[in-house]
Structure formats: C-alpha cells, structure tokens
Amino acid sequence: MAMKVGVVGTGFIGPVHVEALRRIGVGVKGVLGSSAQKSQAAAQRMGLERGYSSYAELLADPEIGVVHLTSPNRFHREQVLRALEAGKHVVCEKPLGMTARETKELVAAARKHPGLVTAVNYNLRFYPLCLQARAMVRSGEVGEVFHVKGSYVQDWLLYPTDFNWRVLASEGGALRAVGDIGTHWLDLVGFITGLEVEAVMADLKTVHPVRQAPPQGSVETFSPKGDRPPATAGTGGKKGAKKELSTTPVHIDTEDYASVLLRFAGGARGVLTVSQVTAGRKNRLEWEVAGSRRAIAWNGERPEELWIGERNEPNKVLMRDPGLLDRAASAYTSYPGGHAEGFPDTFKQLYRAVYADIAAGGPSEQPLYATFEDGHKELALCEAILESHRKGKWVKVKY
C-alpha cells in the first residue's frame, strides 16, 4: 500500500503544501479543516479523496503515513505529539510550538521515534540562490563573516482594519511579526552562514494597539483586497472612507514591527528589521553577508539574482542557472536559467529532500531541511528577543 499524506489546515498555506506534493508525485489523500464542512469543501475544491471530520479520523487512516500541519500555532504541540504516537512522519509549519518549553518537548518526543522524519517548514532555505550562498560561505569564497544585515517586510497588516488570528498572542504566540516572518530570516541566515546567535538586543512596536475584527472574526492571510474591510479615514485609508460599523475593536498584544541587534558565536554581528506594516512591500525578505573576501546579498522579491560584492574588481550579479551553480544548489533547481523559479518551487524542493529521507527509511544525518531541533532554536530566539525588549538590554539566548 503506497504511503499517502494528510494535510491539516485549509487556509493560505495548506493548499500550497498540497500543490507542491502533487508536483513531486506524492499522493495527498485528504485534508482536515476547522469543521467537517470546511474539510469537505476544501477536499472538493482541491480534488482530494477525503475531507476528514476530525484529527482522530485522519490519524486512524492506515493509508496516511505523513501528516502536514498547517494549522494555527496553538494546535501544533498536541497535533505533533499525536501524530508521532500514531507512527506518522511530520512536516510542521513554523513556528513548531508556542513556547520553547513546548518545542523542547517535541524535540524529545521526536528522538523517541528515530525512524520518523520530523521537519519544520522553513521553505525559504530552498531558493536555489540561497543554497548557492550557503555553498559559497561554506567553501570559503566569502571569507570570514564579519556581519549580516537584512529585513523581512510586508504590508498585509498595514491598516487597523486588517485582522487575522495571527495578531492574537493566544492564537499565534507572544511574538507575531518576529515569530511569523522574522524566524524565516533568522533560520535562513543561520542556514547560510552556519552561525548561531548567542545574544540579542530588541526593540518592538505595536503600531495598531487596537484592530477592527470583521463579523467573521478573521480574514485569510494575504486575502484579496476585496475580501477585507475598508481602511478607515485618518489611518492610511482613502479620505472620506466610511468606517465599517459591524467590526469589533480588539486589543492587540503582539508587535507589528521589530528591530533586533544580533551577536553571533565567534564574534560576528548582525541586525534584523521586521515589519508587517510597510506599504508596498508584499513579501520582501533580504539579507546581506559581509565577509573578509567579498559580500553577497539576496532579495526574495528578486529571487533569481545573487549580488556578489567585490573590493578590487567589478561587482557581479549571478543569475540562477543550474550550469553556473554549485552542485549542492543545482540539485534543487529544476529549470534552465531564464525560466523563473519562485515561492511555490521552494516547497517542492523542500519536500523532495524530506521525502527522499522518508523513502530511505528515516532522517539523514545532516539534512538540508529544518529539523525539530532547528524549530526549537527559533522559539528560543523569540523568547530571548521578547525578554530583551521588555528589559531593554542584551539577553543571552537559552537554547
């Protein structure tokens, strides 16, 4: 009997998992939503065999060998533990848990099941030019890393009428912008450079202390403009726009913006800025690594280009082309140069690595995909960042 996949979650990212799995020939049997009706509707929409009525029903299905969790963060701990107990491989969306205490528990649980692959969905590692950058750093082409700078900025929560479950600490965790997108940057930079953050100094800001929740309670992540309540006058919306009378004011206890100074083990330094209220930036992650031999930089809204900075010769821009990349990077690019690969392709390439290990009978020694240990490190970083902001001083990361 061929192993199949069950996907938990029917919002923005669940269907992305389904599409990517189909592209690599992995069978997705069914999906689980927040209700039986949502499960059935999503299964029909995506052409899947099953819309499960409960998580227990999904786990009891003997054909399901792998569970992909794209549910709200507060459910991850319980769902991961139950999947492992049922003998299922797990691919969990980030963050792995709500707290470092939870993620430490999940790391320990995964170690009790050494034959199961347990991965965290940090898909951005699998942009080919990020893999190329990693190979350049590891081979010595960049030299000693002096410092790293970068940002991850978006605009989908720009207005106080932009509301989603992620803005609530009870649903997503105490850190939102840092936890939701900042951890992508932190994971990616650590993956590329091999450096580990040892201390942080953070400044956070909630731009909208009160947001207006729509009647349905939430809107989907990156929902189309027509699906959102209008921005109110005086808050960035069009002059004279009418206030949505049916909305409910909700106090917000998570940050819209953060800047974080980083100290890496070994002496390198770094700085990260995160924002979900930067107009015009749809999903812009960028990093720049300054080394003793050269610098390299990349921007996720232009993922086909890697900038290479030189001191004594002209700077270069390396275009993604399998024939020009390191073997480790070309192994995870599917199209010739000039045939763009983007966000959906990173999921495909990530799952190629994950399912190669599943087919091999268990996790490889040093996988390219993020493990539960990596997921735990990101929660430990988040907690240090929050503590630093509250105390107004440098805080060591307690891994």
pLDDT for position 242: 45
Q: Are residues 266 and 328 in the same domain?
A: yes
Q: 237 lies in which domain range?
A: 125-336+379-396
Q: In angstroms, what CA-CA distances link 304 with 192, 335, 338?
A: 17, 12, 8
Which of 122, 126, 123, 158 has the alpha carbon at shortest distance from 281? 158
Consecutive 10-residue averages of pLDDT for the chain (399 residues): 91 96 97 96 97 98 98 96 98 96 98 97 98 98 98 97 93 92 97 98 98 78 58 46 70 97 98 98 97 98 97 98 96 96 97 97 96 98 98 98
How many angstroms separate the CA atoms of 177 and 255, rounded?
A: 6
Q: For residue 271, is it within any domain?
A: yes
- Using DSSP's 3-state secondary structure scheme, residue 382 falls into helix
pLDDT at position 215: 83
Buried b (16+ CB within 10 A) or exposed e, 375-386: bbbbbbbbbbbb
Rounded Cα distance, 205 and 275, in Å? 10
CB 81 within 8 A of CB 110: no
Task: Look at residue 343 and tell me if it is in a domain.
Answer: no
> 108: helix, coil or strand?
helix
Q: Is the domain of 99 the same as that of 165? A: no
Q: What is the CATH number of the domain that holds 76?
A: 3.40.50.720
Please check whether residues 19 and 165 belong to one and the same domain.
Answer: no
Residue 363 tokens read as: 């996790």
Q: Before 95, cis peptide (omega within 30)?
A: yes
Q: Count the domains in the chain.
A: 2
Specify whether 197 is located in the same domain as 183: yes
CA distance 65 to 46: 20
Backbone φ, ψ for residue 136 (5° rounding): -65, -40
The token pair that represents 284 in the structure block: 């812009």
pLDDT of residue 243: 47
Q: Is residue 303 domain-resident?
A: yes
